[in-house]
């Protein structure tokens, strides 16, 4: 297959983090099942955990308890919703018969961003409710959490723990429940428990949720006084599931089961098989639904949730998350091969899972991202991965190259043998973007509005600029051409007169801007980055920011702030220097616009440079002939040079970063793949355009 060299040359807005250059050991075969971590904490890199998860399945659940003694099936369950967590230290915030009070307390906890669940149990013929929160591995951690919750909610939480007493084992669930009720009637808090009993599933009744051996001994003495004939003792089973009932924070009592898993065991949950496509939903994962099995267990002190399913079914969800149904089939095939290559190359990355479901590896949002064309693309490329000299290549892709892909030196600082800078046809989002106007109001305010909210007048003003009228109520005037990243400067009422300075496309994966940033804002961003990377801080307030070195594709390799080199761990890390909210720059293919840098030609040919020779800037009015402050109190003003070029400048130094592309730029551009597919190239042509000297074949 010849490489496509003569072609210049997603919805995936995600930016893949860059992994090591050498692929991981290939322990994950393309046709095998794959394990995807939905919630996991690995200490470094990807981290995301929750104290509990709620699973849903229209066809009910089948559950297996996995412990040291093997695998035991729990009784079939017809429930469609259940909650799962590990048995650990928690806080009982209040215990009450008043459901409304319990719900109000739970709501207060939620507002303070704490987990809140209401446990429900019948005692003495009436329902009692306990509001639970928190997740801790040790009593010390629970004590710290208790103080925090008390301070924010005005309650006095009681710490509960994972130490219990066994009150007996039974041959049936019915017998265990009857004994649990007797203990509850006597005032003891009791639970029916599934346990591994040799080669069989057993049933036990346990009492207490104590925090120490001393507390458990005290409970044992109390229990013996009430039931002297019973031998209360520490449970022998390490692999167990405690079953409790909890209720959602609603106006009615809607009880569901909560399964509390021992730290030494795993619980495998699969959907009932009477559905057309058996699925399990995970409420805490944005309600996404998944094929295959969900496994729950404790790992490194946290509840870990893993989705295990076949590789190809996994790829249905990945391709639909990284691209979108309706894209050309050859582009979807391209993504399928890339996603399979990346999954295979991870090996058993996390020990308990091959990879996560986030863009730290690649986005995987489950069944609801599938579609017929996506499944067709995956099936058509089944088993195929990218190879370079007998090894699986590093699978690298991103949203948009901005017209030219990156060389390895522009991203990591070192070359990649099979990836070099090539043209990429990425203009689709530019060609379909809405138009925005940069406008000036009568009071001198300058900002952006979308073009369809402006009615353009016939004719032009004295310097040839179009004029218009705002045609909607309370229109936001923004700092840049988007409604998300760029902030609102002010609102303009219907009928406001504007002068149209120029037109720009709405921010999209091909073209973007950030700012304007004040010199103070830019100084802080740069100095924060310098401190993190052990670079020299700039003194005073930033006056000049420039790109001093670029790579083959035009991406930034080096920058200087007032002559000081900005230190970064890799060239691509320049994106993380300039952060707005939680958003870093979309790419390193950008220019710096210094709004406060300009030269003014004065009397007798004298040139004044701003900001180096900063002083009050005044202009002589055409009618009065007297000098006045430029554009009144407005910080920004217009400069029209001798060639009729219009520029927006600022009295104090400000910076705008204008760029192209979305992502690191190394490997395959998803929008480039889309356009090449539309031009008639198949997926192997596309891959071999972006990857040099590789083969695409089954493992």
551-592 pLDDT per residue, tens:
999 999 999 999 999 999 999 999 999 998 788 999 999 999
Q: Are strands 255-261 and 81-86 parallel, antiparallel or unpaired?
A: parallel
What local confidence, expressed as pLDDT, does residue 501 receive? 95
Q: Could you tell me if 501 and 530 lie in one domain?
A: no
Residues 47-71, mean pLDDT to the nearest whole number: 91
Instruction: Phi first, then psi: give them for residue 629, nearest 5 degrees.
Output: -60, 135
**Is pLDDT at 4 greater than 60 in this prediction?**
no
Torsion, Cα 481 486 489 490, to 10 degrees, reads 70
**Is pLDDT at 252 greater than 70 in this prediction?**
no
Strand boundaries in 553-613, DSSP class E? 556-561, 564-565, 590-594, 598-601, 607-610
Residue whose structure tokens are 């300009």: 598
What local confidence, expressed as pLDDT, does residue 20 receive? 31
Tokens of 226: 């009430």
**The last residue of a domain, from among 160, 189, 222:** 160
What local confidence, expressed as pLDDT, does residue 543 receive? 93
With respect to residue 58, please indicate whether it lies within any of the assigned structural domains: no
Q: Could you tell me if 590 and 602 lie in one domain?
A: no
Closest CA to 394 of 366, 367, 361: 361
With respect to residue 476, please indicate whether it lies within any of the assigned structural domains: yes
Residues 268-281, mean pLDDT to the nearest whole number: 92
Measured CA to CA, the distance from residue 548 to residue 561 in angstroms comes to: 10
With respect to residue 148, please indicate whether it lies within any of the assigned structural domains: yes
With respect to residue 20, please indicate whether it lies within any of the assigned structural domains: no
Tokens of 612: 């180096």
Q: Could you tell me if 156 and 99 lie in one domain?
A: yes
Instruction: Phi first, then psi: give them for residue 372, nearest 5 degrees.
Output: -60, -45
With respect to residue 32, please indicate whether it lies within any of the assigned structural domains: no
- Helix, strand, or coil here: 182? helix
408-424 pLDDT per residue, tens:
999 999 999 999 999 99
Tokens of 244: 């409790």
526: containing domain: 511-595
With respect to residue 575, please indicate whether it lies within any of the assigned structural domains: yes
Q: Could you tell me if 486 and 523 lie in one domain?
A: no
What is the tally of structural domains in the chain? Answer: 4
Q: Could you tell me if 521 and 495 lie in one domain?
A: no
Position 613 confidence tier, pLDDT thresholds 50, 70, 90: low
Q: Could you tell me if 585 and 522 lie in one domain?
A: yes
The answer to whether 303 and 50 have CB atoms below 8 angstroms apart is yes
With respect to residue 141, please indicate whether it lies within any of the assigned structural domains: yes
Q: Tally the residues of the chain.
A: 699
Measured CA to CA, the distance from residue 313 to residue 278 in angstroms comes to: 12
Residue of 94 and 32 predicted with greater confidence: 94
Among 302-311, 333-342, 381-390, 637-646, the least confident range: 637-646
Q: Could you tell me if 589 and 516 lie in one domain?
A: yes
Q: Could you tell me if 527 and 542 lie in one domain?
A: yes
Q: Could you tell me if 516 and 588 lie in one domain?
A: yes
Residues 424-442, mean pLDDT to the nearest whole number: 97
Measured CA to CA, the distance from residue 225 to residue 665 in angstroms comes to: 72
Tokens of 427: 């203009």
Q: Could you tell me if 517 and 586 lie in one domain?
A: yes
H helix runs in 444-547, sequence order: 519-532
Tokens of 645: 């070029």
The number of helices, as runs of H, and strands, as runs of E, in the chain is 12, 45
182-212 pLDDT per residue, tens:
999 899 999 999 999 877 899 999 999 999 9
Q: What's the CATH number where 144 sits?
A: 3.30.70.1070
Measured CA to CA, the distance from residue 586 to residue 590 in angstroms comes to: 9
Q: What percent of the chain has pLDDT over 70?
A: 92
Measured CA to CA, the distance from residue 650 to residue 628 in angstroms comes to: 16
Neighbour tally for 379: CB within 10 Å: 13
Instruction: Give the H or E element holding residue 468.
Output: strand 466-470
With respect to residue 559, please indicate whether it lies within any of the assigned structural domains: yes
Tokens of 520: 């103070």
**The last residue of a domain, from among 103, 136, 160:** 160
Position 122 confidence tier, pLDDT thresholds 50, 70, 90: confident
**The last residue of a domain, from among 160, 195, 223:** 160
From edge to edge, which strands make up the β-sheet containing 564-565? Answer: 545-550, 556-561, 564-565
Q: Could you tell me if 518 and 571 lie in one domain?
A: yes
Instruction: Give the H or E element holding residue 321.
Output: helix 311-322
Measured CA to CA, the distance from residue 116 to residue 54 in angstroms comes to: 13
**Is pLDDT at 13 greater than 50 in this prediction?**
no
Return the biggest CA–CA distance within the chain.
111
Measured CA to CA, the distance from residue 208 to residue 191 in angstroms comes to: 8
Q: Could you tell me if 527 and 588 lie in one domain?
A: yes
The answer to whether 504 and 448 have CB atoms below 8 angstroms apart is yes
């Amino acid at each position: 297959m010849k490489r496509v060299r003569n072609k210049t040359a997603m919805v995936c807005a995600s930016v893949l983090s860059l992994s090591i250059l050498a692929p991981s050991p290939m322990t994950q075969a393309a046709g095998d099942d794959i394990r995807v971590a939905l919630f996991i904490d690995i200490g470094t890199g990807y981290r995301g955990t929750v104290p509990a998860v709620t699973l849903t399945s229209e066809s009910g659940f089948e559950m297996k308890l996995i412990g040291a003694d093997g695998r035991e099936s729990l009784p079939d369950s017809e429930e469609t919703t259940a909650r799962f967590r590990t048995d650990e230290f928690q806080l009982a915030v209040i215990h009450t018969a008043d459901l409304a009070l319990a719900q109000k307390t739970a709501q207060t906890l939620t507002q303070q961003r704490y987990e809140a669940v209401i446990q429900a149990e019948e005692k003495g013929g009436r329902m009692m409710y306990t509001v639970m929160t928190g997740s801790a591995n040790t009593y010390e951690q629970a004590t710290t959490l208790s103080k925090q919750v008390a301070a924010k909610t005005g309650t006095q939480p009681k710490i509960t723990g994972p130490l219990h007493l066994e009150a007996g084992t039974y041959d049936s669930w019915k017998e265990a429940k009857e004994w649990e009720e007797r203990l509850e009637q006597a005032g003891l808090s009791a639970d029916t428990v599934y346990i591994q009993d040799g080669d069989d599933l057993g049933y036990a009744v346990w009492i207490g949720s104590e925090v120490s051996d001393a507390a458990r001994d005290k409970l044992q003495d109390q229990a013996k006084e009430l039931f002297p004939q019973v031998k209360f003792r520490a449970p022998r089973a390490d692999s167990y599931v405690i079953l409790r009932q909890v209720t959602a924070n609603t106006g009615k009592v809607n009880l569901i089961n909560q399964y509390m898993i021992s730290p030494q065991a795993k619980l495998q949950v699969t959907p009932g098989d009477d559905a057309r496509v058996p699925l399990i939903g995970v409420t805490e994962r944005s309600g996404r639904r998944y094929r295959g099995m969900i496994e729950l267990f404790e790992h490194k002190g946290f509840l870990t949730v893993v989705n295990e399913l076949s590789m190809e079914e996994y790829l249905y969800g990945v391709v639909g998350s990284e691209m979108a149904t309706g894209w050309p089939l050859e582009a979807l095939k391209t993504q399928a091969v890339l996603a399979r290559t990346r999954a295979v190359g991870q090996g058993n990355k996390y020990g308990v899972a091959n990879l996560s479901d986030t863009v730290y590896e690649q986005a995987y949002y489950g069944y609801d991202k599938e579609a017929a064309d996506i499944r067709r693309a995956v099936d058509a490329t089944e088993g195929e991965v990218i190879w370079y000299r007998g090894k699986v290549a590093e699978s690298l892709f991103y949203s948009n190259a901005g017209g030219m892909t990156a060389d390895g030196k522009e991203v990591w600082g070192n070359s990649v043998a099979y990836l070099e800078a090539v043209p990429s046809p990425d203009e689709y989002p530019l060609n379909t973007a809405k138009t925005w106007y940069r406008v000036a109001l009568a009071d001198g305010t300058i900002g952006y509005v979308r073009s369809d909210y402006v009615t353009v007048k016939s004719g032009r003003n004295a310097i040839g600029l179009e004029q218009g009228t705002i045609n909607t109520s309370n229109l936001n005037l923004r700092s840049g051409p988007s409604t998300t990243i760029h902030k609102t400067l002010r609102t303009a009422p219907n009928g406001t007169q504007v002068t149209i300075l120029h037109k720009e496309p709405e921010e999209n994966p091909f073209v973007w801007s950030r700012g304007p940033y004040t010199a103070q804002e830019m100084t802080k961003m740069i100095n924060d980055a310098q401190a993190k990377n052990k670079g020299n801080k700039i003194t005073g307030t930033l006056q000049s920011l420039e790109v001093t070195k670029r790579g083959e594709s035009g991406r930034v390799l080096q920058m200087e702030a007032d002559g000081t080199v900005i230190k970064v761990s890799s060239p691509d890390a320049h994106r993380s220097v300039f952060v707005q909210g939680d958003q870093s720059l979309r790419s390193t293919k950008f220019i710096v616009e210094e709004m406060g840098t300009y030269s003014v030609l004065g009397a007798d040919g004298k040139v004044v440079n701003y900001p180096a020779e900063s002083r009050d800037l005044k202009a002589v009015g055409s009618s009065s002939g007297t000098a006045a402050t430029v554009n009144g109190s407005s910080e920004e003003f217009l400069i029209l040079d001798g060639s009729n070029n219009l520029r927006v400048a600022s009295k104090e130094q400000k910076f705008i970063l204008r760029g192209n592309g979305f992502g690191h730029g190394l490997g395959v551009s998803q929008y480039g793949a889309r356009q090449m597919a539309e031009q008639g190239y198949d997926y192997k042509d596309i891959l071999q355009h972006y990857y040099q000297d590789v083969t695409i074949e089954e493992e």
